[in-house]
Amino acid sequence: MNEPNHANATLSPTVMDISFGNFQAALLFNGLLAIALLLGFLIARARFPATYASRVFAVPLALQPRPLGFGVFSAIPKVLVSDKELLDKCGVEAFAAIFHARAMAVLFAAIGLPAALVLIPINATGGNGLQGISLLTLGNVRDEQKLWVHFLFTLYAVTLTLYAIFRIITESVRLRVSCRTHSLFSNRVMMVRDVPPEWRSEVEITEVIIPRVIPSAHAKVSKDHLAARNKLEAAVSGFFSKISRRSKQGTPADSESNTDKPNEIFADDGVMKLRPKHRSPIITGKKVDSITEYTKAMRDAQRELALLHSVENLEPMSTAFVVLREPIQAHLVSRSIVHITPWVMGQKFPSVSADDVIWANANTAYFNREWRFLFTKLVTFAMIIFWGAITAATLAFTDLANLGKSIPAFQTFLNDYPQISKLIGGVLPPVVIAILISLVPPILRLLSIFGGSPLRTYTEQEVFSQYFSFQLINIFAVNVIGSSILASFNAIKDNPSSILDILAISIPQSANFFIQYLLVRGLLAPSLEIVQAARLITGPIILFFFGKSPRSVLKRHEPPVFSYAESMAAHGLTVTIGLVFCILSPIVLVFVVLYFSLYTLVYFYQMQYVYLAVKSTGGGKFLFTAANHMYVGLFIMEFMILAIFLLSKNYIISGLMVLVVAVTIWSYSQARQFQAIIDTIPVSTVAGKSTLYSGGILFSDKMTRWMKYVVSSRPEEEEEEGTLVHLTKEESTAVNTTATNCAADIIIVHVDVDEDKTLEKLTVKKVSASSLYMDPSMGDVGLKVWIPKCGVGNMYREVVNEIVGAISENQVVSVGAGVNAKGNIVLSNGKYAEMCGL
């Protein structure tokens, strides 16, 4: 690099001026917008608790976060809680997301601070004559002696990154083992696909639950039954709302009694006029009483459903759920080869929660899944090509300098309105690409389910990896290659023999787009996530039009679920950008640190106050996958730096870089060995320990009866034998009557405790183990009709008696629901779990 090169020809002065102007415009626009959004959040947080504290409504007192108050600075220490408190109250997956964002912020801060002090001054005085943002890149360095500093800094960055990767892997293993060995009933259940027909019997396989294939006619009756129930609830709730509003008399949701209060405001004929009516059939039919009609419809559907349930010769599914004594047994059996044909009972998934099963795929045959899988891969490949073309077109049409050269009138516009052109060039390309790429995850999720994915967690893992690869190709690769070629096109055309020297300088300059992209993602994305503008705007509208019953109101209050696939894949792309450009263009690290720092703060708040953990079989696996994705950025960074050293004809440093690549490959092979621990339970974690910590099974002397206790995942919190460990406000205890009973009953014990761990309430519900692993389309004959309490006159008792005349009395409930004096449905706080079970 001692001889003059064509660096100055790679980018014209116009391009470099616009590049720096784009950066200024993007920073100003995104920064001001992010500040406005955050100020809006601080103002709206206290006024809209249903949006900004939805998790508080949904979890028991022992799991609720600390109250924040109204002060901004006083609230920050209350949000930034300890890891133990975060893990205990929010769960493994929430803690894993925060741990990853925080680890990345620390990693890139540790790399970025020395880079700002060492690399940026060296690049700025490199002597290649670049301007604007490009002045701070490796492409501006001419003196090959200075490249030794970049090489040494590469060693430093690689060492820190490898340490961070193994730190994340270690934490992932700890979380995974803790989840898999916890005393949950689902941890002892193994899902087995493609069971041969001759084995689809509880007699052939001990301790097995084999769901039945639900005929379409059966599923239709179940759907009609559910629809009639929902319409009945809406009709009754609407009726109670009208009379409460007319009488200006409300009934608290927390009222312990449903006794009607005397009220002489209404005469019987006046009440009858308030009863809801509808046409049956719609439009052409006569008006009928809605409550009476929907009660009859539910009664008829329920009777037909009960008749279908009495049929015992339903075809068994090809998927079985095997119940074992301890979680580790489920994992050991899942590693075994069962059948001589490899795909028969080949897929076995331990620790499967019933809520995690995709029942639509539970009976899909192996070869049917195979052709579906092939089809989904072809569609995914077509999507990559299509989105890649769109991304390339977006880059081409938003390259204002090249457009100005091609269209003289547009060049005149750029000259007349430079500020507008800078704003368009700095904001429009990353925003358009971010919007286009956000459309991909829902499509990938649908393709995964169509391809036969058995579990929702499995689907999310697939979407996570595929979406990361998708972004890597359509955002990273297209922009790096496209920007380098587009920016250097004229120089290469004028002097083709200097293509290697030109690319060695132009490739680091592709960081300009990613700086703009990180400004959009790093400032706007976390701000939009915490503001939740869509829920804030649409929530009241949906509640006004559709909040006609306690069930629909509860639906509005449901906390959102954190989308790990989209979020972690987007973070993975940011990690890749940060690693690749930490040497080529160190200024990028400033925005990577900002990105992960903001997301850490946002996740601390969202996981404690907004998002609700869902039942899954993940248990820290997302964190392990994210650690492995870091190797992608590490390898790309090393190969790009090696290529630049080779293009610069510095063969000594290039040879040393080959050794660095070899060490990284070796470390990757070591990291992949942890995959087996992620997939199963290490024997060493339970060897020599009481079964209290390997499934919580306490055997009697004859070992014929056994009981599972709710136990801590930490041995130091051991309680006396035969007692419940009150770790959370609600825990489940499973009790099997005999070890050989394959259709054992489970006693679900809901334990309510105060913050000081004193027992407050104990409720017991007996359910069948086999009913937990049953296709929901089977329907429930005992479907609950959830109506609000109403204390006006004797309306409540009359309506209940009318409904009970058609269905069972214990099906009509009013748990936690009332009507205020304005006629609005109100729900009680602290009964979310009980209400969700209705």
- Residue 399 amino acid letter: D
For the cut 70, the answer to whether the pLDDT of residue 347 exceeds it is: yes
Give the confidence band of 17 by pLDDT, cuts at 50, 70, 90.
Answer: very low
With respect to residue 270, please indicate whether it lies within any of the assigned structural domains: yes
With respect to residue 340, please indicate whether it lies within any of the assigned structural domains: no
Give the confidence band of 495 by pLDDT, cuts at 50, 70, 90.
Answer: low
In tens, the pLDDT along 127-167 reads 666 666 667 777 667 767 778 888 899 999 999 999 999 99
Residue finishing a domain among 778, 797, 819: 778
With respect to residue 112, please indicate whether it lies within any of the assigned structural domains: yes
In tens, the pLDDT along 408-458 reads 776 777 677 766 666 676 677 788 888 888 899 999 999 999 999 999 989
Please report the pLDDT score of residue 574 as a whole number: 93
Give yes or no: residues 538 and 560 share one domain: yes
Report the chain's terminal Cα–Cα distance, integer Å.
73
Please report the pLDDT score of residue 811 as a whole number: 87
Please report the pLDDT score of residue 533 as a whole number: 81
In tens, the pLDDT along 56-109 reads 888 877 788 888 877 677 777 788 888 888 888 888 888 999 999 999 999 999
Domain count, the chain: 3
Cα distances (Å, whole numbers) of residue 590 to 115, 122, 489? 10, 17, 30
Determine the average pLDDT of the residues in 738-758.
40
Residue finishing a domain among 778, 800, 824: 778
pTM value is: 0.81
Give yes or no: residues 293 and 171 share one domain: no
Task: State which H helix or E strand residue 320 sits in.
Answer: strand 320-323
Residue 583 structural domain: 7-184+366-673
Give yes or no: residues 666 and 715 share one domain: no
Please report the pLDDT score of residue 499 as a whole number: 55
Give yes or no: residues 175 and 93 share one domain: yes
With respect to residue 613, please indicate whether it lies within any of the assigned structural domains: yes
Give yes or no: residues 511 and 557 share one domain: yes
Give yes or no: residues 631 and 641 share one domain: yes
Give yes or no: residues 503 and 604 share one domain: yes
With respect to residue 322, please indicate whether it lies within any of the assigned structural domains: no
Least confident among 253-262, 303-312, 771-780, 793-802: 253-262
Least confident among 120-124, 370-374, 437-441, 664-668: 120-124
- Residue 453 amino acid letter: S
**What angle, rounded to 10 degrees, do the helices at 550-557 and 533-546 form?**
180
Give yes or no: residues 46 and 127 share one domain: yes
In our burial notation (b when 16+ CB lie closer than 10 A, e otherwise), range 176-204 reads bbbbbbbbbbbbbbbbbbbbeeebbeeee
Q: Token match 């912020």: residue?
A: 105
Q: How many whole angstroms separate alpha carbon 569 and alpha carbon 742?
A: 41
Give the confidence band of 497 by pLDDT, cuts at 50, 70, 90.
Answer: low
With respect to residue 323, please indicate whether it lies within any of the assigned structural domains: no
Give yes or no: residues 550 and 617 share one domain: yes
Q: How many whole angstroms separate alpha carbon 470 and alpha carbon 566?
A: 11
DSSP for 559-593?
A: PP---HHHHHHHHHHHHHHHHHHHHH-TTHHHHHH
Please report the pLDDT score of residue 597 as a whole number: 93
Give yes or no: residues 601 and 461 share one domain: yes
Give yes or no: residues 309 and 420 share one domain: no
With respect to residue 196, please indicate whether it lies within any of the assigned structural domains: no
In our burial notation (b when 16+ CB lie closer than 10 A, e otherwise), range 467-493 reads bbbbbbebbbebbbebbbebbbeebbe
Q: How many whole angstroms separate alpha carbon 142 and alpha carbon 4?
A: 8
With respect to residue 208, please indicate whether it lies within any of the assigned structural domains: no
For the cut 90, the answer to whether the pLDDT of residue 666 exceeds it is: yes
Give the confidence band of 754 by pLDDT, cuts at 50, 70, 90.
Answer: very low
Give yes or no: residues 633 and 737 share one domain: no
